Structure 1
């Protein structure tokens, strides 16, 4: 039997990189066993908080409390409605209803969920207008809480709706949705993803998320460094 030290050495030699399991949830998963998820190795969860400027996820508060009690690093996400109101207005709404951040080491920067919905793939905006809207949200969030929000997207949406913009490479961590056995092509000029949503099914609820780094780096992200 290989010793743990030898396994670690072999992993290093093979270039295996440390990752941390996590998941994301909303009211579609009303009952989550956070303690069981933690015991199975999960260390973070991203919880839906808001949409637009008029919707609060009804499970956010109970989910946030449950995640905290279980010892998980947690944060909120906002489902963007670009163009319906300004990015700044939606950032303010998100912050006011649970999406804020403090450097306590257990709170992730808020995540802006960018994807299509019923009113069109790109919400009726041109690529330049979409980039401007995202920047408006991102800048207001940064101004209010001190860190830039993470941006959640998939390669197809980012290519179509922002023209594959690289405007956020140096400011916003990327949460990449790509359901496959590998990360694949990363859009927007980001050199790597911070979090990879690798599956729309996780044993303890919601989607599976993989942090690209070790636990201490995840903790550093929660501290804003």
Structure 2
């Protein structure tokens, strides 16, 4: 079964490389064929390997995150639909937040929380997000509220992924945490390119970090429920 399922990972990697090739060669019109295949192939892979947890909340929210990520990918192909793409990815991040929260030991146990230590652990994430916002804030215009909302949600996603430390297996923690960080970096590069200063390498950097983020998150969640 695993040998059959890994074909979808190969298809995922192929779609990623083809999409990057189209970006590098300025063949943007062809990305309508390559970009949607990225999350379709990864989604089928997750669907196949997660059949043993069918009906569980974790599977539902992960599939929701994949579907809305796919929708966001498609919408962002068209510049006029940027706000709708942003909304789709916001929902995807909310699904990931739920999945990160429940894919850990005793997820809703409060215990003794040291808020100062928690703040210091998350401080590098806050600084990175604040720096990106500092750069782009003057050019957001009517998108200011949607972008701020989106940034708050993705920061929450990264901090909750960090919260899983010592509450799951090391491989699951690091894959999910690094995946969430790559997502933050990808969106930060996209925001800087759109609202601060465009640069030719942005497309490759955005998609390279984005595809790495999605793969790491999927494999990290897989590592948790296959423990």
When the two structures are superposed, what TM-score results if normalisation uses the length of structure 1? 0.26
| More contact order relative to length (CA 8 Å, sep ≥ 6) | 1
| Structure number having the greater helix percentage | 2
**Structure with more of its chain in strand, by fraction:** 1
| Superposition TM-score, scaled by structure 2 size | 0.26
